Structure 1
Amino acid sequence: MSSALPRPFLHLAHANLAAQSAEQLGLAAVPLVAVMAYGAGAAETGLLAAVQTLPFLLLAMPLGLLADRMPRRRLMLRAEVLRALSLLLMLAVLAAPWSARMGIAGMALLGFIGAIGTVAFSVAAPALVPELVPREALARANGRIELARSAAFAAGPAVAGALVAWTGAGAAFVLAAALSFAAVALLWKLPEPARRVPAARHPWTELREGARFVLRHAWLRPMLLTGAIFNIAWFVLQAGYVPHAVRALGLGAQGVGLTLAMYGAGMVAGALLTPRIAARTSPGSAIRVGPFSAVLAAVLMASTLRWPSAGLAALSLFVFGAGPMVWTISSTTLRQGVTPAGMLGRVSAVFLTVNAGARPVGAALGAGAGALWGEAGCLLLALAGFMLQAAVIALAKLDAAPSDEALRSPT
């Protein structure tokens, strides 16, 4: 059997790379511009970040329903056009003489609009992949998708920072908009196989159907809970890491940036390794790699409380990037295998919504732990959270590699 992925999927993969790069460039450029052009402080940049995450929490489920009701390629096209237009409007606002009057509020509004496009793309793409590749190639295809996300995540902030520093804010948005329109062009050439769309029912009925499927499924339910706990623990860790790195590890801004870059490097390594891991282990074993790796990474980070070391912190962040990336690809592949094709958009949206909702919970817990016990409290509370998510997935019934027939069993 040829190892090459089908050409239609390659159009999707290239469009995904362009779209992810546009997203990361925009996300990195917005706070830089807010600080440099409008004098924003921590409160304003925090507001911008919060507004850009709201569509994930508020709109993932409705957009997941749309992904099941309409051609997914069409939804992705419209989503990417929306993101491209928001980037062009951001550029126009910066160039306009009246831009100071819009300021942070205008950037927040446009960031919200652009994020709607990101959410729609995020729920539609995983639902479309199984229509373009055979079942045995799903792990490789998902690895290709996540590799693009990892590369964009690792390179986007650095490229945006360099463009803003060397040529001004406009260049970052021009490049991001160009990449977004490139994604539109690639999606335009993507042939989507025809599928039967059932008659529309009441939206609430269909949304409940998707949530019920996840919550009653013996494999998806613990995966959902594991992901939620991981995201809470990760944001607790993030609340304490930078002050810990500066005060306890003695790192400056450049040193902190270099250690954080190891997270992106780990994501790339994990995306490259996952197809090999999936080929040599059962789905259950591959899925457990991520949660167990997160415990190892959290132990490494907590050990810097006893032995302050930038090297240990960097290694911890590398493992945090690599292991959970194996989880993301493996769990997505299993989710695609067990979910009926007509429900993939809603099921993906359930996971996206729960993970998005877990992040502010983690940030709030991290803030509370930091206020009560300092950075050490954040690191130790995060370790407890990562141990809990590993326990949840360890107890799940994922030991045997499921057959094709078993993959369709909801209990």
Structure 2
Amino acid sequence: MNFRIVKQPLQTSIWSFRDVRLVLPARALSSAGDSIALIALMLRVSEYGGPGTMTALLLAFAVPTVVMIPFAGRIVDSHDSRTVLVSASLVQASAGIGLAFGDGLAETLVLVCLLQVGTAVSGPAWAALIPRIVGEDLVGRTTGTSQALVGVATLAGAAVGGVLVAWSGDRGALLVDATTFLVLAVVARLVVTRRRPERGVVPEPGAMTAGLRGIFSDALLRILVPCLWMFVLAGEAVNVVEVYLITGELGLDAAGYGGVVAVQGAGAIAGAWLTGRLVGAITRSRAVLAGMAAIGVACVLMGLANGVVTLLIGSVTVGFGSGLLNAAVGTLVVTRSAEAVRGRVVAALNGTARACSLFALVLGGLLGALLGTRMTFVACGAACGVAAAAAAVPVLRVKGLETNDSAQKVLSH
């Protein structure tokens, strides 16, 4: 597929915007803190029992985002962005401080849920604010750059997380995460650009489900967003058995497993960065399809791998495809949604993706038990390939891709 890349003139660089110079680094820093905190919490919870407690922790991270689908976006679209972002960041910081000084399992799980409630609100709020900061034309580049920076920060956080826990205990690691949320609160207060609800606008009927309706009322999004869901199902299902493929089937040690994960993360960074250079709905739609196809082929390749080189090629390709797909879908969802409901549409995207994550945990365990490690990779890869092929024809038939006519349709739906 041919991707069209446009060279932006110097004066339209995203870094020429003061608010971008504040927001993107701060969000990347927070992602590094989250990565550190995740390692600290997993090490803490592992002391309380076996897989059941770890599953409970993963559920605490995922369930609030799903439950908040009808509420998070409503909050974002109905209140001043500064108020929402500062409040959400302070909630997250409070949860982080609580996690640092609490150590019981039940207390940990409750505070993780509180942390994720804040995340469920702040994520759509930042995403909806970006077009106000840079304008519609630079949303794609800003989204791609942001995701690439977050990828780098997440890898860095994972690299130092274990060391930090060993040096200062989980309390120190969790206080670092809480500090990053305080930084985000300060940044949210300093950001000049604001997003406010229009005065005198009567809320539309059924506003609680406006996000999902916004996705499915758009001729393009109702095809491509399910592609993202399929990726989450397949990608996170193979995550359940990936460690067994790497350490069991191919015989690598813990360092080798970490290297494979790092390579996949590097591929995702590259994919997100490339997507940020693409312009137009047609090109981004092709990136989604290409990402799905790449993930499908790579999963099959990893399942059949007999050596480290093949495994690494498959891993970096999965990462690259996921970077393409995530950044492209994220940009399309923002640019093809009406301004008034953007928060709800992004919240719906985030929440449904998290719901797919929950199903993926169960699916990965079932497939691993029924098919074995290698065939789980092959089956999930084949499913991604079939989904990409099935989506290709209807995507190419969608009319008016380079317009935002769908946004008006969302408003009047």
Indicate whether the TM-score tops 0.5.
yes
Aligned to 1:284: 282
Aligned to 2:265: 264
Question: 1:401, CA displacement in angstroms?
Answer: 7.4
Shift in alpha-carbon separation, 1:14–1:328, aligned structure 2, 3 A? same
SS at match of 1:191: coil
Aligned to 2:158: 157
Contact 2:288 2:329 in 1 (8 A): no
> Is 1:31 the equivalent of 2:30?
no
Contact 1:338 1:410 in 2 (8 A): no
SS at match of 1:217: coil
Runs of 4+ in 1 over 6 A off after TM superposition: 200-204
Distance of 1:388 and 1:122 partners within structure 2: 31
SS at match of 1:49: helix
Contact 1:235 1:363 in 2 (8 A): yes
Q: Which runs of 5+ in 2 are unaligned?
A: 1-8
Distance of 1:198 and 1:388 partners within structure 2: 47
Which of residues 387, 395, 406 in structure 1 aligns to 2:393? 395
Q: Which runs of 5+ in 1 are unaligned?
A: 94-98
Aligned to 1:314: 312
> Is 1:44 the equivalent of 2:53?
yes
Distance of 1:291 and 1:211 partners within structure 2: 22
Superposition pairs of residues 178-327 of structure 1, within 5 angstroms:
178-193=179-194, 195-197=196-198, 205-276=206-277, 278-279=278-279, 282-327=280-325
Shift in alpha-carbon separation, 1:194–1:116, aligned structure 2, 3 A? closer
Distance of 2:68 and 2:197 partners within structure 1: 24
Aligned to 2:6: none
Distance of 1:176 and 1:24 partners within structure 2: 9
Distance of 2:158 and 2:375 partners within structure 1: 29
Superposition pairs of residues 76-225 of structure 1, within 5 angstroms:
76-93=85-102, 99=103, 103-193=104-194, 195-197=196-198, 205-225=206-226
Contact 2:211 2:346 in 1 (8 A): no
Contact 1:223 1:393 in 2 (8 A): yes
Distance of 1:320 and 1:380 partners within structure 2: 13
Distance of 2:105 and 2:129 partners within structure 1: 36
Distance of 2:195 and 2:182 partners within structure 1: 25
Question: 1:398, CA displacement in angstroms?
Answer: 4.7
Contact 1:64 1:349 in 2 (8 A): yes
Question: 1:60, CA displacement in angstroms?
Answer: 2.9
Name the amino acid aligned to 1:350: A
Contact 1:301 1:312 in 2 (8 A): no
How many residues are treated as equivalent by the alignment?
A: 398
Shift in alpha-carbon separation, 1:244–1:73, aligned structure 2, 3 A? same
Contact 1:56 1:353 in 2 (8 A): yes
Q: Structure 1 vs Structure 2: percent identity of aligned residues?
A: 21
Name the amino acid aligned to 2:152: A
Alignment TM-score, normalising by the size of structure 2: 0.89
Shift in alpha-carbon separation, 1:384–1:407, aligned structure 2, 3 A? same
Contact 2:143 2:330 in 1 (8 A): yes
Contact 1:242 1:256 in 2 (8 A): yes
Name the amino acid aligned to 1:75: V
Distance of 2:220 and 2:160 partners within structure 1: 39
Name the amino acid aligned to 1:332: G
Can you list the C-alpha shifts for 1:12-65, whole angstroms capped at 9, x where unaligned? 223312322222222221011233xx4432221221111111111111331111
Question: 1:206, CA displacement in angstroms?
Answer: 0.4
Name the amino acid aligned to 1:327: L
Shift in alpha-carbon separation, 1:371–1:129, aligned structure 2, 3 A? same
Contact 2:31 2:150 in 1 (8 A): yes
Aligned to 1:367: 365
Distance of 1:263 and 1:394 partners within structure 2: 25
Can you list the C-alpha shifts for 1:346-393, whole angstroms capped at 9, x where unaligned? 111121122111122222222111111211231122112211331243
Comparing 72-81 and 383-392, the one that deviates more = 383-392
SS at match of 2:206: helix
Question: 1:150, CA displacement in angstroms?
Answer: 1.0
Can you list the C-alpha shifts for 1:164-215, whole angstroms capped at 9, x where unaligned? 1223222211211222211111111012335443558679710233322321
SS at match of 1:396: helix
Question: 1:70, CA displacement in angstroms?
Answer: 0.7
